[in-house]
A and B are shown apart, each in its own frame.
Chain A
């Protein structure tokens, strides 16, 4: 016993629906194939619907006077013979297999086996516009392909995380932060908030700074040393060329450039300070790349002056100028912050005369240049007014001892005290 469906037939080329005028059979009636079972009217013709099977009318579904789209089931017929039509069966099978035939349609899946690192133009464009490292995005497309939508969603999520972050830099740090978080599970402390207290959400960059500081302070045994330097000659020299330099070069010649130059030169002579602790060994770096700390209102960036030992004071001054500009207008890229081997920090700009810096992990030391102040100094048993500055050095005591650091600082001091119009010039 099989139940077969009778559908609204197509009565003409453009006819898409028909109205049942009258049923000619009722449930229980026996009908032969091609017997009329209903009268149908359409836009173009009136016609009788022939039964498509021999059997007993089971159910009348379509109602008289109602309009149904072509293909709608209007009644069912119960047929006794199991195999009513071998031909229709054969056609059905043939069609099924035909439908499976692929007519040279490109199979996007097989075209490219692994998609993770193959980016569409849209994805690359978005990534470069928003300075996104695509390696950090999980692709949801075919075979892990990163889709345009994935990138858009990533950009959205980044916006949520850090509204003030400056492009790649913050992202770089965010990544470092993630690594740290995973290696050191932190235990949050419950601090009660009193009325009137403001709650400041932690931005991604703030958290990154925090994690780096914690890591450095917890892992590195810090030791400190300070040396006083007489920079009277340097100040006189710098002041004498300041105006002309600005006119000629278009940017300021700062004291800080002289300090960076002096440090780079001294590092060449004392390479132990230009190294990193690598667990079972110490790696002494060949390149002298000086990280300089540049602060904004709410964050701290550490761009790098590469090969500082190969540059003149002027060259260094120009790079300091350019990198500071980049930090301020948010165009600092990851390449500007990578590869630092030693950090010089200009704490003097805010008037500090002494500080204990935390080492920029995983470097071996950090030098804080304090404010230049006029002080009475005794020279050859006479009191003189001199421009004095304190250099504060923090060292990784695993790598360095006081002896070598004292010699290093002494050398920096010598270079600075001998900078004047005649000896160490800006060019």
Chain B
């Protein structure tokens, strides 16, 4: 099995799907000749031609709108937002059109689009290149939001998203692109959307998180294992709709839950996870539900020291786990 970086796995998923189904096409800013600013689509323009890898104007609303229209008449568009931060001009298209078409047309129409966007900080991207935007969309029924944490999941989940009959927002942590590497099979596999995954079994406390933070939590757990703290890690993988069963099971297993997200704390995906645990697991809880998240400040700062202050790190997770373990 080949060891691929996170972004190579994403590239591979798109390449394989385009080879498998000629209805699959890519559109976005600089995705063609340049191969994307992160090189996710590198070589696809050469392989599939200008009609299947479209360079668009700098208009996210148009990228989403064109993709929605194409999807409604049978195409399988993969729309790339250069940065998740830039998705905001397309919110009307995504929330009011894509998410509601099936419902509005009484099941006559559907909208199988994937919108890929790199999110997250830690790469000196500052205000416009570091945001986590999943919570903005995470109460819109009709949408699915997928955030993979490793190359294996990224390939399987992106394929599942492309084949899904309804709109999927696919967020990729840009710091994970080249940081996270892992074994990725070359065969055609999909990972079901809406299923969380236990990334580490443990009995002392449960960490529930997603995206890059899964990687940090695993690092923290390895260090803590040396001190006899046995951490259970659940990777949500799909942050909307949430895998309630897996959350309840993971929380009940240890009775102590740490929820980690890089997003601002209030109103984050983790707020909803906390609510699910509070609703279903009262009699299993041994400690208050604890959240570790970005501070409630407007944006990721540029100064490296301040960026570190904002970002989640293995050290911060380790500290939080120690505090919760001691409770």
Contacts and interface: CB of A to CB of B under 8 A. Distances in A.
Contact of B309 (A13, A16, A95, A142): A95
Contacts of A142: 326-327
B127 interface: no
A151 to B, nearest CB: 9
A16 B179 contact: yes
A43 interface: yes
A14 B38 contact: yes
B285 A122 contact: yes
Contacts of B286: 120-123, 147-149
Given A14-B38, A120-B285, A149 B125 contact: no
B39 A43 contact: yes
B175 interface: yes
A185 interface: no
Contacts of A149: 204, 286
Contacts of B123: 10, 13-15
B327 A141 contact: yes
Contact of B178 (A43, A123, A124, A145): A43
Nearest to A103: B295
Interface in B53-112: none
Contacts of B39: 43-44
A417 interface: no
A125 interface: yes
A17 interface: yes
B275 interface: no
B323 interface: yes
A106 interface: yes
Most buried by B among A94, A122, A123, A142: A122
A198 interface: no
B129 interface: yes
Nearest to A106: B288
Contacts of A123: 286
A99 interface: yes
B309 A14 contact: no
B142 interface: no
Contacts of B136: none
Nearest to A115: B327
Contacts of A106: 288
User: Interface residue tally of chain B, by bracket?
Assistant: 20 to 34
A108 interface: yes
B284 interface: yes
Interface string A90-129: 0100110011000100101000000000001111110000
Contacts of B129: 13
Contacts, number: 73
Contacts of B326: 141-142
B309 to A, nearest CB: 6
A121 B327 contact: no
A108 B288 contact: yes
A124 B285 CA distance: 10
Interface string B103-135: 000000000000000100001110001000000
B255 interface: yes
Interface in B138-184: 174-175, 177-179
B288 A121 contact: no
Interface in B258-313: 282-288, 295-296, 305-306, 309
Interface in B169-224: 174-175, 177-179, 204
Interface in A372-393: none
Contacts of B323: 108
A6 to B, nearest CB: 16
A146 to B, nearest CB: 9
A13 B125 contact: yes
Contact of A148 (B255, B282, B296, B309): B255
A142 B123 CA distance: 37
A149 B204 CA distance: 8
Nearest to B324: A108
B124 A13 contact: yes
B125 to A, nearest CB: 6
Interface string A2-24: 00000000100111110000000
B204 A17 contact: no
Contacts of A94: 305
A71 to B, nearest CB: 11
Given A103-B295, A106-B288, A122-B283, A145 B327 contact: yes
B249 to A, nearest CB: 15
A10 B204 CA distance: 37
A103 B297 CA distance: 11
Contacts of A125: 283-284
A123 B256 CA distance: 12
A46 to B, nearest CB: 15
A147 B283 contact: no
Interface centre among B118, B283, B286, B296 (most CB of A within 10 A): B286
8 contacts: A15-B123, A43-B39, A106-B288, A120-B286, A142-B327, A145-B327, A147-B286, A148-B286
- The 5 A-B residue pairs with the shortest CB-CB distance in the complex, in nearest-first order: A148-B286, A16-B179, A122-B286, A122-B255, A95-B305
Interface of B: 7, 38-39, 118, 123-125, 129, 174-175, 177-179, 204, 254-256, 282-288, 295-296, 305-306, 309, 323, 326-327
Interface of A: 10, 13-17, 43-44, 91, 94-95, 98-99, 103, 106, 108, 120-125, 141-142, 145, 147-149
